[in-house]
Amino acid sequence: MITDSTHYGLSARVQLEALGDNRLGIRKVVKSRIIRKDAEKIVRMAWQIRRVAPERNITLLCTRNICSKSLALLKEEGVEVLFVEP
């Protein structure tokens, strides 16, 4: 599985990880809280990845610092959230 973000038309600063079983993870581990505006950017990244590779399942890898509105938006858009330690 290709984990080079530029292959999917994303910025080279976006960190992608292969999670197996056709799952691709977007790593977003930051000290600050992920708010709705950040979640909208993540959804746009997921759309871009699905445009290039529609069979990919997208997972966000982040800390527990994420607001409930962001979690609801990501769930609605089919982006799974997996919590990791910083």
Phi and psi at residue 53, to the nearest 5°: -135, 85
* pLDDT at site 25: 97
With b meaning 16 or more CB within 10 Å and e meaning fewer, what string describes 3-39?
A: eebeebebeeebebeebeeeebbbebeeeeebeeebb
Tens digit of each residue's pLDDT, the chain (86 residues): 899 999 999 999 999 999 988 999 999 999 899 999 999 999 999 999 999 999 999 999 999 999 999 999 999 999 999 999 88
Domains parsed from the chain with CATH numbers? 5-83 (3.40.1350.10)
* pLDDT at site 86: 80
Tell me the pTM: 0.93
The DSSP bridge partners found for residue 18 are: 24
Q: Residues with Cβ < 8 Å from 77, sequence gap 6 or more?
A: 43, 46
* pLDDT at site 76: 98
* pLDDT at site 36: 96
